[in-house]
């Protein structure tokens, strides 16, 4: 009893001390949370809206110009040969990324099964791609059943009659319809396919033969009523508008484009055109996720005037007199070429192999770790062009070596936080994609075919594609900028978060939301995943051999990477994830290609697949349930 009485003052003092310590800790924590506030900051920003800015700033300091440069001078060196998808340089880059993630301690999240727990390939998500070029083709022309001409093409051997351009690599057979220039343009008052319809001539199951370009006086002057008489979209090299016009006209067996008849025909005549096509076919070239026989657009060949005249011989017409008639009257000359039949055969190249690289940090919160933040950047680039004089390597330092090495440094920063007991509450997937330069193929494979982390568990995608350059719009005004790109319906919360983080963590970049560039975020966007995309846009060295490490402003690049890190930190640690459009309120109306500068995004399809015009993966088109 006496002992208890004698210890009461001591117990009281201990209790008071503990209470005082709690009060001091509470005050210190409050000061820490408001430390970054400055006069004029948004007073509505709460601790739940920004997870401890002082702590974020401390970890941001690990993202240094030196760390970024150390990676980029290596990854964008000539040794990697431009990192073209499926080429040796891309494979070396994949190994480098996996080795770095292994060194940092990130978990492999690839799909390669291996007994070797230390193998780099455990970080790989391999997938197949298919060349859009044909390995070999054969065209046979029959007039009234008699073989009158034959044309062969391969990357090793060409003739003076035809070469494969694009479309389905498969056999085709049918009659021939001459469709003028293949133009359908009400605004310009010239409509070839409407003229065919008026004559009740169908293109279905037949070869559509058209002239290249449009009615021209010379290479720089259109005969159509275009602005300032300049050649219009119908003379573009990609022929996207003509592809769309053909697609809207019906389902032909194939397309023949007379490539050497107009004033814009390339120098050297048809032989030189065919040689250039063969050189291109020997390279990796354009790639797709689908087998070439599954291309929705019909096989398309560029043919010579010589072959075209043989086809037209049964009609008594020639390419020259038809072009003169159209150009002189600006009225379509279209007809069914009686007696002509064309048969084609085509062989496809074997598939190529490439891989995404996936590193993973598991979240620390048992309730939140199943939710995942994706930090993405593509590591492929354009490879090499042996036809260039001087430098032939597209090093891709800004595009997208900069975003790629930023993922490495951001990953290391998160691992540093984890080692200090402050790892992210949600899990983080670092996704370095291949095939972006070929049409966002790596991210499309992930989202559409093999989502290692199911899409329903991904709370946001933070994409970086080109964060190390400066474009013309900001070079003379404020080069300390970054485009922040997002969709209103899914990204408005993330965009506002980025603006707050930019102020409160002191990155102080000019945030420009006036542009929208295509990149890997599109494949998350189409599935309603909230995203924010950081990019410096189309910079001075964009897609040039001059895009090399020494052209980068690493201090600016570090500021962008710090903002991207802060964005990921916020999403990974916030009590609630970014809001996303409620799927229960939406229904899929159909499928379209991603928004682009072409008119094909107005096409609506019944099922997933690929756009026949731009060949991009189709995305769901949503509408609110009625």
- pLDDT (0 to 100) of residue 583: 67
Q: How confident is residue 601, by pLDDT bands cut at 50, 70 and 90?
A: confident
Nearest CA to 61 out of 315, 416, 354 is that of: 416
Counting every residue written for the chain, the total comes to 626
The answer to whether 408 and 432 are in contact (CB under 8 A) is no
Residue 319 has pLDDT above 80, yes or no: yes
- pLDDT (0 to 100) of residue 51: 65
Q: Give me the helices (H) in 268-351, please.
A: 269-282, 305-312, 319-329
Residue 147 makes CB contacts below 8 A (sequence gap 6+) with 140, 141
- pLDDT (0 to 100) of residue 238: 86
Residue, of 16 and 539, whose pLDDT is higher: 539
Phi and psi at residue 179, in whole multiples of 5°? -120, 40
Range with the lowest mean pLDDT among 25-39, 244-258, 334-348, 609-623?
A: 25-39
Rounded Cα gap, residues 512 and 510, in angstroms:
6
Range with the lowest mean pLDDT among 2-16, 246-260, 434-448?
A: 2-16
- pLDDT (0 to 100) of residue 289: 96
pTM of the predicted structure, to 2 decimals? 0.88
Range with the lowest mean pLDDT among 32-41, 172-181, 193-202, 517-526?
A: 32-41
Model confidence pLDDT, tens digit, residues 82-113: 999 999 999 999 999 999 999 999 999 999 99
Rounded Cα gap, residues 444 and 451, in angstroms:
10
Q: How confident is residue 585, by pLDDT bands cut at 50, 70 and 90?
A: confident
- pLDDT (0 to 100) of residue 582: 64
Residue 230, number of CB atoms within 10 A of its CB: 10
- pLDDT (0 to 100) of residue 33: 39
Rounded Cα gap, residues 327 and 304, in angstroms:
20
- pLDDT (0 to 100) of residue 117: 84
- pLDDT (0 to 100) of residue 594: 79
When pLDDT is averaged across residues 259-283 and rounded to a whole number, the result is 92
Nearest CA to 564 out of 466, 470, 455 is that of: 466
Residue 581, number of CB atoms within 10 A of its CB: 14
When pLDDT is averaged across residues 540-549 and rounded to a whole number, the result is 97
Q: How confident is residue 617, by pLDDT bands cut at 50, 70 and 90?
A: confident
Residue, of 582 and 119, whose pLDDT is higher: 119
List the beta bridge partners of residue 124. Answer: 357
When pLDDT is averaged across residues 250-257 and rounded to a whole number, the result is 98
The answer to whether 481 and 474 are in contact (CB under 8 A) is yes
- pLDDT (0 to 100) of residue 50: 65
The answer to whether 440 and 618 are in contact (CB under 8 A) is no
Range with the lowest mean pLDDT among 46-50, 56-60, 74-78, 252-256?
A: 46-50
Q: How confident is residue 171, by pLDDT bands cut at 50, 70 and 90?
A: very high
Phi and psi at residue 467, in whole multiples of 5°? -115, 15
Rounded Cα gap, residues 143 and 528, in angstroms:
54
Q: What is the dihedral of CA 434, 438, 440, 445, to 10 degrees?
A: -60
Residue 22 has pLDDT above 90, yes or no: no
- pLDDT (0 to 100) of residue 5: 40
Domains and CATH numbers, the chain: 54-128+353-580 (3.40.630.10), 134-348 (3.50.30.30), 582-626 (no CATH)
Residue 21 makes CB contacts below 8 A (sequence gap 6+) with none
Token pair for 146: 């008699």
pLDDT, averaged across the chain: 91
Percent of the chain exceeding pLDDT 90 equals 83
When pLDDT is averaged across residues 163-182 and rounded to a whole number, the result is 97
């Amino acid at each position: 009893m006496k002992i208890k009485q004698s210890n009461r003052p001591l117990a009281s003092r201990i209790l008071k001390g503990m209470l005082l310590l709690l009060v001091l800790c509470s005050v210190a924590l409050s000061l820490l949370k408001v430390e970054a506030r400055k006069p004029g900051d948004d007073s509505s920003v709460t601790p739940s809206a920004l997870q401890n800015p002082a702590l974020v700033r401390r970890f941001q300091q690990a993202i240094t110009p030196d760390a970024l440069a150390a990676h980029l001078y290596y990854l964008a060196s000539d040794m990697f040969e431009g990192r073209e998808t499926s080429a040796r340089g891309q494979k070396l880059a994949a190994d480098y990324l996996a080795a770095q993630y292994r060194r940092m301690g990130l978990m492999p999240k690839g799909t390669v099964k291996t007994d070797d727990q230390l193998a780099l390939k455990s970080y790989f998500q391999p997938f197949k791609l298919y060349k859009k070029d044909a390995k070999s083709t054969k065209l046979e022309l029959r007039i009234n059943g008699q073989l009158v001409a034959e044309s062969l093409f391969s990357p090793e051997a060409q003739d003076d009659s035809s070469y494969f351009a694009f479309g389905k690599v498969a056999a085709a057979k049918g009659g021939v319809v001459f469709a003028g220039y293949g133009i359908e343009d009400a605004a310009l008052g010239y409509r070839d396919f409407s003229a065919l319809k008026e004559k009740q001539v169908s293109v279905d199951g037949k070869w559509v033969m058209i002239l290249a370009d449009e009615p021209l006086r010379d290479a720089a002057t259109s005969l159509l009523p275009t602005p300032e008489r300049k050649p219009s979209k119908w003379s573009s090299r990609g022929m996207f508008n003509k592809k769309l016009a053909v697609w809207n006209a019906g389902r032909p067996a194939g397309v023949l484009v007379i490539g050497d008849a107009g004033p814009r025909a390339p120098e050297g005549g048809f032989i030189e055109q065919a040689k250039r096509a063969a050189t291109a076919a020997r390279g990796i070239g354009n790639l797709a996720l689908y087998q070439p026989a599954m291309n929705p657009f019909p096989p398309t060949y560029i043919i010579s005037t010589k072959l075209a005249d043989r086809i037209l011989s049964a009609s008594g017409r020639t390419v020259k007199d038809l072009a003169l008639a159209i150009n002189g009257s600006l009225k379509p000359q279209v007809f069914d070429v009686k007696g002509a039949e064309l048969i084609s055969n085509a062989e496809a190249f074997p598939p190529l192999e490439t891989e995404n690289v996936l590193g993973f940090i598991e979240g620390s919160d048992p309730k939140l770790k199943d939710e995942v933040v994706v930090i993405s950047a593509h590591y492929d680039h354009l490879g090499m062009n042996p036809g260039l004089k001087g430098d032939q390597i597209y090093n891709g330092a800004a595009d997208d070596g900069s975003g790629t090495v930023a993922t490495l440094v951001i990953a290391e920063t998160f691992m540093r936080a984890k080692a200090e007991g402050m790892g992210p509450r949600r899990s983080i997937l670092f996704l370095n994609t291949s095939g972006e330069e070929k049409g966002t193929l790596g991210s499309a494979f992930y989202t559409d075919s093999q989502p290692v982390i199911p899409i329903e568990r991904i709370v946001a995608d933070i994409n970086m594609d080109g964060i190390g350059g400066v474009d013309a719009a900001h070079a003379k005004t404020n080069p300390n900028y970054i485009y922040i790109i997002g969709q209103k319906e899914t990204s408005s919360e993330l965009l506002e978060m980025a603006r707050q983080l930019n102020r409160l963590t002191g990155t102080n970049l000019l945030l420009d939301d006036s542009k929208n560039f295509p990149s890997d975020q599109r494949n998350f966007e189409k599935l309603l995943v909230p995203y924010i995309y950081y990019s410096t846009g189309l910079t001075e060295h964009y897609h040039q051999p001059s895009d090399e490490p020494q052209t980068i402003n690493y201090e600016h690049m570090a500021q962008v990477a710090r903002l991207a890190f802060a964005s990921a930190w916020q999403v990974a640690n916030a009590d609630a994830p970014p809001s996303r459009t409620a799927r229960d309120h939406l229904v899929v109306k159909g499928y379209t290609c991603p928004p682009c500068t072409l008119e094909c995004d107005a096409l609506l399809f019944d099922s997933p697949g690929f756009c026949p015009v731009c060949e991009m993966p189709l995305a769901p088109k949503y509408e609110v349930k009625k």
